[in-house]
Structure 1
Amino acid sequence: MNQQTQVASTTFVKFEQEHILPIPETKRTGTPWSLFAIWVGLNMMPLAVVTGAVASGGYGLPIGWSIVAILVGNVIGAIGAALHAAQGPHLGIPQMLQARAQFGYQGGGLFAIIALVMFLGFFASILIVAKDSLAVVFPEVNGSLAILVFAAIGVVLCVFGYDLLRRTMVYLSVLIGVTVAITMPLLWLKPDVTAPRADVAFSYEGFFGMLAIGIVWQLAYAPYVSDYTRYLPKKTGPKSAFWSTYLGLVGSSVFVMALGVLLGAANPNNPLAALSDHLGWIGIIALIIFAVSSALINGVELYCAVMNALTVLQSSFRMTVTTSTRVVTTLVCGAVATLVALLGQGDFMATFESFLLLLLYVLIPWSAINLADYFIIRRGHYVVVDLFARDGGQYGRWNRVGLTSYAIGLAAQLPFMVTPLFTGPLAAPLRNLDLAWLIGFVVTGVAYLLMVRLTNTAGAGTAGSELPLTPPAARP
């Protein structure tokens, strides 16, 4: 009987039952390899291609400098994302739910809302780029219909949950990796793609702007990396979670964005069209693969949006989160993001670049506080039961130290911001170099550490980090 059960569990996809609850050790079926495959597959999409194209097509950087900026940005940003991922096997809970320890039970809900908006935005962005990929091959296709079909695929995957998403990403990482490995060398061999252009030149503004985009691309994963590493057995340890995440994120994102650099150099206005223009039928096949895979990959984005939506609901209302709640929330979130995609099919490149910069500024202070709290203040010791208690337990409903530190971090970034809507007064003397992210991270982290010491709250939450012995939903 046990053998039959074991065979069945490895043959059939498991329908997720845990949602935002801590994952019991007996249900932690993840492995470092499957985690690596998730992050590799998640970057293997046309949205990463379009992001890479911003360097050569948007900022007008030469191909070599574009790739250097992308490499440095992703290498730096992925450190933060992977450090967040290292928390998953230890605590077994979603990433943004753990923010309750730094900002309070209801304060953490504010940051879950920010993450929710971010993931819905990525879901919508991926739908638009997938539609654009398909439209290059089939110009007569109805764009709105394509978005609806792709959205439905992502929603179905998300409804099934972690196990189906994990298996899907393993296969996609191989398929799209081969696709990029074939198309990139072929583009390098095209003189009209790699030949120097008169309108291209190195600029500090462009280089640091693209470096910042590389950082935010990786930090955008930080609010949900633990959503997947929480499925690793606790004995796997933080090092495996860190390196599986870090290598998967950096290797795949730099690889695919480098392809985007070539396509942006070939066609700044429509990078995806450059695939079919320069590679013929090979490029057409690549575009179809990109379009279909994006619909599948999008299930991961929606899954993380749902985890944050459930965290917000539980923080705001007296309710028991169930599997039915997760499914209904998935359908609602999917519908909202799809509507955004349908309404946002216009000037996508400029809108998306602004969206990435905005994410950078709001994520940096949260990341600094979370990492300082986990690795320096509490050193991984949290009372998980209190994270689900409506009064916040020892973490309270609102944590003034965390919220004040976050406000300080946002304010510190303002004078250095460089965005299409606002440029800080200190940006011009720095030749419009986007250093706000670095200043925001350092100032926020220092402010949080000092305020914790001054308010004598360093010892809070160090009593233990075991999983609840009773279901958190049943606790007050």
Structure 2
Amino acid sequence: MTKLMGPRLFEVEQESIAPIPADARHGRSRELFTIWFGMNMTPLTVVTGATATTLLGLPMLSSIIAILLGHVIGGIGMALHAAQGPQLGVPQMLQARGQFGAKGASLIVVVAILMFVGYFSSNLIVSANSITELAPGLSGTGMIILCAVLSFVIAGFGYNLVRKVTELGAYIVGVLVLVSFVVLFLGGDFWAALTHGTFTWTGFFAMLAIGIVWQLTYAPYVSDYSRYMPANSGQRGAFWGTYLGCVTSSALLMVLGAGVGLAVTEADTMAGLHHILGPVLGAVVLVGFAFVAAAGNSVNAYCSALCALTLVETFVSGWRPRLKARLVTSLVLHLTGVVLALAATTSFASSYFSFLSVLLYILIPWSAVNLVDFYIIRHGSYAVDEFYAADGGRYGRWNAGALIVFGIGVLAQIPFMSTPFYTGPIATAMGGIDIAWLVGLTVSAVAYLAIARLAPALVRLHAGSTEPDLITE
């Protein structure tokens, strides 16, 4: 294991989207646990959890059940993507070329970039708000820029420093969260409000869906970190390390957020947490959250840069981006995230809730196609070198079958959608209950499996052939 101040920690990463060589592979499943445990230790997770008892008006027990179920279910799909990393050694969005074709995958890559930048901006806003809550005289704009600079420096060094900073954040905020729970439970406001709220199936399924989409939004880049794991470490370690770290931390902080939302009347969740903890302890917790969130935001920045490089490489044949390209791309994305954060502060809560809803409907079909292709159709066997071929190699430029299924999966969800800007007819008939995620997952998985079996040429499988692709580097 790399020591905290070891020579590799501050060694600038030279790799970007090329396959990770065998002699550069390192890490263990325990390190994946700390990466993803620390990744969720942010104010944004607490704010999202407060949605259950504030915007959705659920009682505490119902909120806990919905939060836990959502993360447990969504985490399965997310961790299955993580398990692909050690075997293929490439970023997740580049591996999507194996299902959608070289240019077809670019459609999914664009969605992923929008998602990463959106989460990056959201973390900037909530981190800055945590600091300005303590010192109202400080400039919110200045704090957003400061948080972005910290993220850029960490992401610039690359994988090793991003991993270690996130791991360190897991320990720091983990202790602060436990202290916050103790103080919350000792306070009378929480217990007095424990029975407040009204259970509705609409609210329950909305919070369930938030938990699922929270996990699935990590799916497009979980293997960006597991790709450095040794190939012989196996899929099992990558799956459980990622699953337990991500699900445990996100569920824990969302339950804390739900409790805070129930116990206080402040519109701002982090202000409410500060009120519960008191001036001194509250200041320590908010500063800790803000620092870890700003540093941990480098995870979004690092992966968004890999996605952007993948997108450009799709249309620039033979280009192999290295350090300079990664740094320039990261800088552009950071500037974009800052601009979005500054523009969104006035309507952050409603915009973010809508943002989560839209992501769910787009990510579900992609995830279903990817997982069915990897685990059922090709059994994890791909010709990795051909991901970089100008014509897409055996996977082609466009994979008609996968793109058709993706479109079917998105369309199938429309009647079941329940969002702030649109509610489908079936969701309306069900009283606003949103099960679009379940419909999209099922329809996409079954449709892709059917096409692969009945018309294998549509997904670029040779009919009647049982010979798998070869994993090459």
TM-score tier by shorter-chain length is: over 0.9
- Separation in 2 of the partners of 1:79 and 1:138? 41
Match of 2:269, SS state, is coil
- Separation in 1 of the partners of 2:333 and 2:10? 23
The one-letter code matched in structure 1 to 2:149 is A
* Contact 2:94–2:310 under 8 Å retained in 1: yes
Q: State whether structure 2 residue 139 is matched by structure 1 residue 134.
A: no
* Contact 2:59–2:195 under 8 Å retained in 1: no
Match of 1:61, SS state, is coil
Q: Deviations over 1:35-77 (max 9, x none)?
A: 1100000011100000100001110111111111000000000
Aligned to 1:323: 323
Match of 1:222, SS state, is coil
Aligned to 1:444: 444
Q: Which moved more, 1:432-441 or 1:272-281?
A: 272-281
Matches within 5 A, 1:128-207: 128-196=125-193, 200-207=197-204
Aligned to 2:305: 306
1:412 Cα deviation after fit: 0.4
- Separation in 2 of the partners of 1:421 and 1:268? 26
- Separation in 1 of the partners of 2:470 and 2:294? 37
* Contact 2:60–2:195 under 8 Å retained in 1: no
1:463 Cα deviation after fit: 4.3
Aligned to 1:472: none
Q: State whether structure 2 residue 352 is matched by structure 1 residue 352.
A: yes
Match of 1:58, SS state, is coil
Matches within 5 A, 1:216-235: 216-235=213-232
The one-letter code matched in structure 1 to 2:328 is V
- Separation in 1 of the partners of 2:97 and 2:89? 14
The one-letter code matched in structure 2 to 1:369 is V
1:428 Cα deviation after fit: 1.6
Q: Deviations over 1:77-96 (max 9, x none)?
A: 00000000010000000001
1:10 Cα deviation after fit: 4.8
Q: 2:38 aligned to 24, 37, 41, which one?
A: 41
Match of 2:228, SS state, is coil
Aligned to 1:424: 424
**Equivalent residue pairs, number:** 464
Q: Which moved more, 1:194-203 or 1:62-71?
A: 194-203
* Contact 1:69–1:210 under 8 Å retained in 2: yes
Q: Which moved more, 1:210-219 or 1:284-293?
A: 284-293
Q: Deviations over 1:328-369 (max 9, x none)?
A: 101111111111111111121111111111110000000000
Distance 1:283 1:465, change over 3 A: farther
Aligned to 1:466: 471
* Contact 1:381–1:462 under 8 Å retained in 2: no
Q: 1:237 aligned to 234, 256, 260, which one?
A: 234
Distance 1:462 1:339, change over 3 A: farther
The one-letter code matched in structure 2 to 1:35 is L
* Contact 1:121–1:337 under 8 Å retained in 2: yes
1:283 Cα deviation after fit: 1.3
Cα RMSD between the aligned structures? 1.8
Structure 2 gaps, min length 5: none
Aligned to 1:295: 294
Matches within 5 A, 1:241-256: 241-256=238-253
* Contact 1:103–1:403 under 8 Å retained in 2: yes
Structure 1 gaps, min length 5: 469-476
* Contact 2:30–2:241 under 8 Å retained in 1: yes
Aligned to 1:473: none
Q: Which moved more, 1:37-46 or 1:261-270?
A: 261-270
* Contact 1:57–1:267 under 8 Å retained in 2: no
Aligned to 1:274: 272
1:160 Cα deviation after fit: 0.7
Aligned to 2:121: 124
Q: Deviations over 1:422-451 (max 9, x none)?
A: 100111221211100000000011111111
Distance 1:139 1:398, change over 3 A: same
1:109 Cα deviation after fit: 1.0
Q: Deviations over 1:94-152 (max 9, x none)?
A: 00111111111001111111000100000000000001111111111100010000000
- Separation in 1 of the partners of 2:290 and 2:445? 40
Q: Deviations over 1:367-418 (max 9, x none)?
A: 0000000000000010001111010001000000000000000010000000
* Contact 1:187–1:278 under 8 Å retained in 2: yes
1:277 Cα deviation after fit: 1.1
1:292 Cα deviation after fit: 1.1
Q: State whether structure 2 residue 210 is matched by structure 1 residue 213.
A: yes
Q: Deviations over 1:182-230 (max 9, x none)?
A: 0112111212123237861111110000000000000011000000000
1:248 Cα deviation after fit: 0.4
The one-letter code matched in structure 1 to 2:308 is A
Aligned to 2:414: 414
Q: Which moved more, 1:193-202 or 1:390-399?
A: 193-202
Matches within 5 A, 1:41-120: 41-120=38-117
* Contact 2:60–2:194 under 8 Å retained in 1: no
TM-score by length of 1: 0.95
- Separation in 1 of the partners of 2:69 and 2:218? 17
- Separation in 1 of the partners of 2:9 and 2:336? 30
The one-letter code matched in structure 2 to 1:279 is L
- Separation in 1 of the partners of 2:195 and 2:111? 42
Identity of aligned residues (%): 45
* Contact 1:58–1:268 under 8 Å retained in 2: no
Aligned to 1:377: 377
The one-letter code matched in structure 2 to 1:317 is V
